[in-house]
Amino acid sequence: MPCLFIGTAAIFPRIALVLMWLIQYTATAFTTQLWPILGFFFLPYTTCAYAIGMKETGGFQGWTLILLIIGILLDFGTLGGSGSRYRKLR
């Protein structure tokens, strides 16, 4: 099951978050529904990686820590890339 989410999150992170929410995959990872909603809008890759890490291992060790770091880098890369493109267009 986590391989399906990782593959979907690599291409469509927001769709993967909706699927995780629909099948209650994020219910055990987050204590409140506020964080997945904020993650949906601002840091979708990191939110997916956090949900997978908490669900599968209960924390971040080994491959789940690597997955979380990759999620953070992808989020910052997409945010930084869109900001620099906006500056070039102006």
Residue with structure tokens 């840091």? 43
Q: Encode the chain (90 residues) as per-residue pLDDT tens digits.
A: 677 767 777 778 888 899 889 998 888 888 888 999 999 999 999 999 999 999 888 888 889 999 999 999 999 887 776 666 666 766
User: Domain limits of the chain?
Assistant: 2-89
Query: pTM higher than 0.75, yes or no?
Result: yes
Is-contact 64 32, C-beta < 8 A? no
